[in-house]
Amino acid sequence: MKEIFSRTGLRAVPFLFIFILPLTPLAGQIVSDDSTAVVAIQDLSELANQDRARAQAWWYAWLGGYSAATAGQGVVYFTSEDKSLKQDMALGAATTFLGAVGQLLTPMLPKDATYRRPADGYNAEGAEPMSYGQSAELLKALALREKEGRSWKVHAVAGAVNLGSGLITWLGFKRTFLDGLGNFALNTVITEAQIWTQPTRAIRDYERWCREQSPEGDQGAAKPESQWNVNVYPGGFSVRLDF
C-alpha cells in the first residue's frame, strides 16, 4: 500500500505548483478622457484583457504541469529498474501527454479570431487599440470557452481516459485491484482539479455586460446547449443529439 501511494505521489508532484500559483488581479487603469464613448471602450477593453490574462495563466499553468509530468515520468521510466514503477511511469507519461495535447487542442481563444493580444493598449501590429466591438467579441469568446470547459462533455472524456488508465493498470499489467483504483483516483483528482480551477470570471462579466446593453440581454450566447433532432423516414426513424 505504501508503494502505491509513493508512486502516485511521485506523479502528482509536477502539479503542485498549479495550486499555489498566485494569480494576482491586474490593476485598473485610470481613464482621463471625459468622452463617454472613449471611457466605455477603455473599460470594456480593460475588462476583456483582464479576463484573458486569467484564462491564459490557467491554460499555460496546466500545459506546463502536464508537460513537466510527462518529462519527469519519462526520466524515471528510463532510469528505474523496478518493473511496477516503470509501468506506472510509462502509463502516467501517456496520460499526462494526452492532457498536454488536450490543452493544445482547446486554446482559450479561437485561432481565427480577429483580435490580437494588445501591448500597452495596442494590438500586435502596433496600429491601434481594440475597438469596442473587438473587445465585446473577445469577452464573448472567453465566456463561451469557459462555459464549454466545464461542460459534462469534458468530465465524460476525462473520466473515460482515467477509467481506461485504471483498467490497464489492473488488467493489462496484471496488478492488484487497488493499484488500478489508485491510478484511476489520482488521475480523476488531477483532471477534476483542472476543470474546476478554470476561471469563470469572463462568464459573469459577459452576462453583466449583456444586461447593461439590454434589459433582457443576450445572455444565452455564453450558454451552449444541446439540441435533439428527430427524423422520421419510411421504415423507421432516427434520433440525433448535436452538441
pLDDT, one tens digit per residue, over 134-181 is 889 999 999 999 999 999 999 999 999 999 999 999 999 999 999 999
* Predicted TM-score of the model (pTM): 0.71
User: Helices 132-149 and 36-79 meet at what angle, rounded to 10?
Assistant: 40
Report the amino acid identity of residue 201: R
Distance in angstroms (rounded) separating the CA atoms of residues 37 and 25: 25
Q: 116 near 124, Cβ under 8 Å? A: yes
**pLDDT digits over 84-97, tens only?**
999 999 999 999 99
Average pLDDT for 207-223: 68
Task: Report the sign of the C-alpha dihedral through residues 203, 206, 209, 210, in that order.
Answer: negative
What grid cell was written down for 158? 476525462
Residues spanned by the domain of 121:
2-242
- Residue 129's contacts (CB-CB under 8 Å, 6 or more residues apart) are 41, 45, 118, 121, 122, 123
Of the chain, the percentage scoring pLDDT greater than 90 comes to 53
Number of structural domains in the chain: 1
Cα(226)–Cα(243) distance, rounded to whole angstroms?
Answer: 5
Residue 228 pLDDT more than 90?
no
Q: Are 126 and 73 in contact (CB under 8 A)?
A: no
The 3-state DSSP class for residue 198 equals: coil
Binned at pLDDT 50, 70 and 90, residue 36 comes out as: low
Name the nearest CA neighbour of 142 among 58, 63, 21, 67.
58
Task: Pull the grid cell for residue 12.
Answer: 502528482
Q: Using CB atoms within 10 A of its CB, is residue 36 exposed (0-12), middle (13-18) or buried (19+)?
A: exposed
Residue 73 CB coordination number (10 Å): 25
8 Å CB contact between 180 and 166: yes
